[in-house]
Structure 1
Protein backbone atom coordinates (compact mmCIF):
# COMPACT_ATOMS: atom_id res chain seq x y z
CA UNK A 1 0.00 0.00 0.00
CA UNK A 2 1.33 3.43 -0.95
CA UNK A 3 0.42 5.79 1.86
CA UNK A 4 -1.99 8.60 1.07
CA UNK A 5 -0.72 11.32 3.39
CA UNK A 6 -2.60 14.60 3.67
CA UNK A 7 -2.08 17.68 5.85
CA UNK A 8 -4.46 18.16 8.76
CA UNK A 9 -5.32 21.48 10.36
CA UNK A 10 -6.70 22.43 13.74
CA UNK A 11 -10.16 22.39 12.13
CA UNK A 12 -9.67 18.62 11.68
CA UNK A 13 -9.19 18.08 15.44
CA UNK A 14 -12.39 16.05 15.89
CA UNK A 15 -11.28 13.79 13.04
CA UNK A 16 -7.79 12.94 14.29
CA UNK A 17 -8.13 13.30 18.08
CA UNK A 18 -9.62 9.81 18.60
CA UNK A 19 -6.42 8.30 17.19
CA UNK A 20 -4.25 10.49 19.42
CA UNK A 21 -6.36 9.42 22.42
CA UNK A 22 -5.82 5.75 21.50
CA UNK A 23 -2.06 6.31 21.36
CA UNK A 24 -2.04 8.11 24.71
CA UNK A 25 -4.41 5.72 26.42
CA UNK A 26 -7.02 8.48 26.96
CA UNK A 27 -4.88 10.11 29.65
CA UNK A 28 -5.71 13.70 28.68
CA UNK A 29 -9.19 15.21 28.73
CA UNK A 30 -10.40 16.04 25.21
CA UNK A 31 -10.93 19.75 25.96
CA UNK A 32 -7.37 20.07 27.29
CA UNK A 33 -6.02 18.15 24.29
CA UNK A 34 -7.91 20.51 21.98
CA UNK A 35 -6.47 23.54 23.76
CA UNK A 36 -2.95 22.14 23.43
CA UNK A 37 -3.39 21.42 19.72
CA UNK A 38 -4.67 24.96 19.23
CA UNK A 39 -1.34 26.20 20.59
CA UNK A 40 0.72 23.59 18.73
CA UNK A 41 -0.66 24.62 15.36
CA UNK A 42 0.59 28.16 16.06
CA UNK A 43 4.14 26.90 16.55
CA UNK A 44 6.56 25.03 14.24
CA UNK A 45 4.21 22.04 14.14
CA UNK A 46 2.53 20.29 11.22
CA UNK A 47 0.01 17.45 11.42
CA UNK A 48 -0.73 14.78 8.82
CA UNK A 49 -3.31 12.06 8.32
CA UNK A 50 -2.72 8.67 6.74
CA UNK A 51 -5.67 7.59 4.62
CA UNK A 52 -6.96 4.41 3.03
CA UNK A 53 -9.38 5.79 0.46
CA UNK A 54 -11.30 8.34 2.55
CA UNK A 55 -10.78 6.53 5.89
CA UNK A 56 -8.31 8.05 8.34
CA UNK A 57 -6.16 5.12 9.50
CA UNK A 58 -3.25 6.99 11.05
CA UNK A 59 -1.93 10.33 12.22
CA UNK A 60 1.41 11.92 13.01
CA UNK A 61 2.86 15.31 13.78
CA UNK A 62 6.16 16.90 12.86
CA UNK A 63 8.03 19.57 14.79
CA UNK A 64 10.71 21.61 13.04
CA UNK A 65 13.51 23.30 14.96
CA UNK A 66 17.23 23.97 15.01
CA UNK A 67 19.12 22.24 17.79
CA UNK A 68 22.63 23.14 18.92
CA UNK A 69 23.71 19.47 18.84
CA UNK A 70 21.90 18.34 15.69
CA UNK A 71 21.34 21.29 13.35
CA UNK A 72 17.99 21.67 11.61
CA UNK A 73 15.88 18.82 12.94
CA UNK A 74 12.51 17.21 12.44
CA UNK A 75 10.93 15.54 15.44
CA UNK A 76 8.20 13.02 14.73
CA UNK A 77 5.42 13.12 17.30
CA UNK A 78 2.37 10.99 18.11
CA UNK A 79 2.90 8.56 15.22
CA UNK A 80 -0.09 6.24 15.31
CA UNK A 81 -1.52 3.74 12.83
CA UNK A 82 -4.65 1.77 13.66
CA UNK A 83 -3.70 -1.79 14.74
CA UNK A 84 -5.54 -3.45 11.84
CA UNK A 85 -3.32 -1.52 9.39
CA UNK A 86 0.03 -2.48 10.95
CA UNK A 87 2.57 -5.13 10.05
CA UNK A 88 2.17 -4.75 6.30
CA UNK A 89 4.97 -2.28 5.63
CA UNK A 90 2.81 0.85 5.89
CA UNK A 91 4.80 2.30 8.80
CA UNK A 92 8.07 2.02 6.90
CA UNK A 93 6.52 3.76 3.89
CA UNK A 94 5.13 6.52 6.10
CA UNK A 95 8.57 7.13 7.57
CA UNK A 96 10.12 7.21 4.10
CA UNK A 97 7.58 9.93 3.30
CA UNK A 98 8.47 11.78 6.53
CA UNK A 99 12.22 11.57 5.80
CA UNK A 100 11.77 12.88 2.25
CA UNK A 101 9.47 15.68 3.42
CA UNK A 102 11.87 16.77 6.16
CA UNK A 103 14.85 16.65 3.81
CA UNK A 104 12.92 18.87 1.38
CA UNK A 105 12.61 21.38 4.25
CA UNK A 106 16.39 21.31 4.82
CA UNK A 107 16.50 19.03 7.87
CA UNK A 108 19.75 17.33 8.81
CA UNK A 109 18.50 15.06 11.59
CA UNK A 110 15.37 13.26 12.77
CA UNK A 111 14.36 12.75 16.37
CA UNK A 112 11.51 11.13 18.24
CA UNK A 113 10.38 9.98 21.64
CA UNK A 114 8.90 6.57 22.29
CA UNK A 115 7.21 5.32 25.42
CA UNK A 116 9.62 3.22 27.49
CA UNK A 117 7.40 0.12 27.44
CA UNK A 118 6.53 0.33 23.71
CA UNK A 119 9.06 -2.35 22.72
CA UNK A 120 7.66 -3.00 19.23
CA UNK A 121 8.22 0.66 18.35
CA UNK A 122 11.81 0.53 19.63
CA UNK A 123 12.60 -2.34 17.27
CA UNK A 124 10.80 -0.57 14.41
CA UNK A 125 12.73 2.69 14.92
CA UNK A 126 16.09 0.94 15.27
CA UNK A 127 15.39 -0.92 12.02
CA UNK A 128 14.90 2.51 10.40
CA UNK A 129 18.37 3.56 11.59
CA UNK A 130 17.54 5.47 14.77
CA UNK A 131 19.93 5.21 17.71
CA UNK A 132 18.86 5.49 21.34
CA UNK A 133 20.79 8.49 22.64
CA UNK A 134 19.25 9.11 26.04
CA UNK A 135 16.17 9.29 28.19
CA UNK A 136 13.35 11.80 27.97
CA UNK A 137 12.54 13.24 31.40
CA UNK A 138 9.32 15.06 32.28
CA UNK A 139 8.51 17.07 35.42
CA UNK A 140 5.03 18.47 35.83
CA UNK A 141 4.89 21.93 37.35
Structure 2
Protein backbone atom coordinates (compact mmCIF):
# COMPACT_ATOMS: atom_id res chain seq x y z
CA UNK A 1 0.00 0.00 0.00
CA UNK A 2 1.16 3.52 -0.81
CA UNK A 3 -0.05 6.64 1.00
CA UNK A 4 0.67 10.04 -0.49
CA UNK A 5 -0.56 13.61 -0.61
CA UNK A 6 -2.56 14.15 -3.78
CA UNK A 7 -1.73 16.87 -6.28
CA UNK A 8 -4.59 19.32 -6.86
CA UNK A 9 -5.33 17.92 -10.32
CA UNK A 10 -5.75 14.45 -8.78
CA UNK A 11 -8.19 15.45 -6.04
CA UNK A 12 -11.37 14.50 -7.95
CA UNK A 13 -10.50 10.80 -7.51
CA UNK A 14 -11.55 11.11 -3.85
CA UNK A 15 -15.16 11.96 -4.66
CA UNK A 16 -16.59 8.39 -4.78
CA UNK A 17 -15.21 7.72 -1.29
CA UNK A 18 -16.31 11.11 0.07
CA UNK A 19 -19.79 10.34 -1.29
CA UNK A 20 -19.97 7.39 1.14
CA UNK A 21 -19.80 9.78 4.11
CA UNK A 22 -22.08 12.34 2.48
CA UNK A 23 -24.85 10.33 0.80
CA UNK A 24 -27.37 13.18 0.88
CA UNK A 25 -25.10 15.50 -1.13
CA UNK A 26 -25.24 15.05 -4.91
CA UNK A 27 -22.05 14.07 -6.74
CA UNK A 28 -22.23 17.34 -8.73
CA UNK A 29 -22.45 19.38 -5.55
CA UNK A 30 -19.54 17.47 -3.98
CA UNK A 31 -17.45 18.20 -7.10
CA UNK A 32 -18.33 21.90 -6.92
CA UNK A 33 -17.51 22.07 -3.21
CA UNK A 34 -14.18 20.35 -3.86
CA UNK A 35 -13.30 23.06 -6.39
CA UNK A 36 -14.04 25.75 -3.79
CA UNK A 37 -12.11 23.89 -1.09
CA UNK A 38 -9.05 23.58 -3.30
CA UNK A 39 -8.86 27.37 -3.41
CA UNK A 40 -9.05 27.49 0.38
CA UNK A 41 -6.03 25.30 1.12
CA UNK A 42 -7.65 21.86 1.19
CA UNK A 43 -5.28 18.92 0.81
CA UNK A 44 -5.90 15.20 0.88
CA UNK A 45 -3.85 12.13 1.72
CA UNK A 46 -4.87 9.01 -0.15
CA UNK A 47 -4.10 5.32 0.27
CA UNK A 48 -3.59 3.26 -2.88
CA UNK A 49 -3.55 -0.46 -3.51
CA UNK A 50 -2.66 -1.50 -7.06
CA UNK A 51 -3.40 2.01 -8.38
CA UNK A 52 -6.85 2.00 -6.73
CA UNK A 53 -7.66 4.76 -4.25
CA UNK A 54 -8.92 2.81 -1.23
CA UNK A 55 -8.80 5.43 1.53
CA UNK A 56 -8.70 9.19 1.97
CA UNK A 57 -8.19 11.76 4.71
CA UNK A 58 -8.77 15.43 4.02
CA UNK A 59 -6.36 17.92 5.56
CA UNK A 60 -6.76 21.54 6.59
CA UNK A 61 -3.85 23.41 8.18
CA UNK A 62 -4.45 26.48 10.29
CA UNK A 63 -3.67 28.46 13.39
CA UNK A 64 -6.08 29.43 16.16
CA UNK A 65 -5.71 31.38 19.39
CA UNK A 66 -6.67 28.48 21.64
CA UNK A 67 -4.31 25.85 20.20
CA UNK A 68 -1.73 27.37 17.88
CA UNK A 69 -0.90 25.59 14.64
CA UNK A 70 -3.19 22.62 13.99
CA UNK A 71 -4.14 20.04 11.40
CA UNK A 72 -7.87 19.41 10.95
CA UNK A 73 -8.62 15.94 9.58
CA UNK A 74 -11.71 15.96 7.37
CA UNK A 75 -13.74 13.13 5.82
CA UNK A 76 -11.65 10.07 6.62
CA UNK A 77 -13.08 7.13 4.71
CA UNK A 78 -11.88 3.70 3.59
CA UNK A 79 -13.51 1.80 0.74
CA UNK A 80 -15.86 -0.75 2.37
CA UNK A 81 -14.19 -3.58 0.42
CA UNK A 82 -10.89 -2.76 2.15
CA UNK A 83 -12.06 -2.09 5.71
CA UNK A 84 -10.66 -4.11 8.60
CA UNK A 85 -7.25 -4.32 6.89
CA UNK A 86 -5.60 -1.54 8.92
CA UNK A 87 -5.79 1.02 6.13
CA UNK A 88 -7.54 3.63 8.27
CA UNK A 89 -4.87 3.25 10.95
CA UNK A 90 -2.04 3.56 8.43
CA UNK A 91 -3.69 6.58 6.87
CA UNK A 92 -4.09 8.31 10.24
CA UNK A 93 -0.46 7.48 11.14
CA UNK A 94 0.63 9.09 7.86
CA UNK A 95 -1.47 12.20 8.57
CA UNK A 96 -0.05 12.48 12.09
CA UNK A 97 3.50 12.34 10.74
CA UNK A 98 2.58 14.99 8.18
CA UNK A 99 1.18 17.18 10.98
CA UNK A 100 4.47 16.89 12.85
CA UNK A 101 6.39 17.84 9.69
CA UNK A 102 4.14 20.91 9.36
CA UNK A 103 4.97 21.89 12.98
CA UNK A 104 1.40 21.41 14.18
CA UNK A 105 0.78 21.36 17.91
CA UNK A 106 -2.45 19.35 17.74
CA UNK A 107 -4.74 17.47 15.38
CA UNK A 108 -8.49 17.98 15.47
CA UNK A 109 -11.41 16.30 13.75
CA UNK A 110 -15.17 16.00 13.76
CA UNK A 111 -17.08 12.72 13.68
CA UNK A 112 -20.81 12.33 13.29
CA UNK A 113 -22.47 11.50 16.60
CA UNK A 114 -24.20 8.56 14.90
CA UNK A 115 -20.88 7.03 13.79
CA UNK A 116 -19.98 4.95 16.85
CA UNK A 117 -17.31 2.96 14.97
CA UNK A 118 -15.48 6.20 14.16
CA UNK A 119 -15.73 7.35 17.75
CA UNK A 120 -14.19 4.11 19.02
CA UNK A 121 -11.44 4.31 16.37
CA UNK A 122 -10.47 7.87 17.30
CA UNK A 123 -10.59 7.18 21.02
CA UNK A 124 -8.25 4.20 20.50
CA UNK A 125 -5.94 6.67 18.75
CA UNK A 126 -5.83 8.98 21.80
CA UNK A 127 -8.26 11.62 20.51
CA UNK A 128 -10.24 13.21 23.31
CA UNK A 129 -13.66 14.81 23.19
CA UNK A 130 -13.01 18.31 24.53
CA UNK A 131 -16.06 20.23 23.38
CA UNK A 132 -19.16 20.35 21.24
CA UNK A 133 -19.30 21.29 17.58
CA UNK A 134 -22.38 23.51 17.14
CA UNK A 135 -24.05 24.00 13.78
CA UNK A 136 -26.76 26.47 12.76
CA UNK A 137 -28.33 26.14 9.32
CA UNK A 138 -28.68 29.37 7.38
| Structure 1: stretches of 5+ with no match in the other structure | none
User: Structure 1 residues 13 and 45 mapped into 2: Cα distance closer, same or farther (>3 Å)?
Assistant: closer
- For the Cα contact (< 8 Å) 2:59–2:72, is it kept in 1? yes
Q: Displacement of 1:132 after TM fit? A: 0.6
Residue 3 of structure 2 aligns to a residue whose secondary structure is: strand
Q: After superposition, what is the alpha-carbon deviation per residue over 1:31-57, rounded to whole angstroms, capped at 9, x for unaligned?
A: 222221111111122112210121111
- For the Cα contact (< 8 Å) 1:10–1:37, is it kept in 2? no
Q: Say yes or no: does 1:17 pair with 2:15.
A: yes
Structural RMSD (CA): 1.5
Which of 3, 6, 9 is the matching residue for 1:5?
Answer: 3
Structure 2: how far apart are the matches of 1:58 and 1:107? 23
Q: After superposition, what is the alpha-carbon deviation per residue over 1:101-127, rounded to whole angstroms, capped at 9, x for unaligned?
A: 111011000000000010011011011
| Structure 2: stretches of 5+ with no match in the other structure | none
Q: Displacement of 1:98 after TM fit? A: 0.6
Structure 1: how far apart are the matches of 2:37 and 2:7? 11
Structure 2: how far apart are the matches of 1:31 and 1:37? 10
Structure 2: how far apart are the matches of 1:106 and 1:48? 17
TM-score by length of 2: 0.91
Structure 1: how far apart are the matches of 2:14 and 2:34? 11
Q: After superposition, what is the alpha-carbon deviation per residue over 1:44-72, rounded to whole angstroms, capped at 9, x for unaligned?
A: 22112210121111112100000111110
Structure 2: how far apart are the matches of 1:39 and 1:9? 15
TM-score by length of 1: 0.90
- For the Cα contact (< 8 Å) 1:13–1:34, is it kept in 2? no
Runs of 4+ off more than 6 Å: none
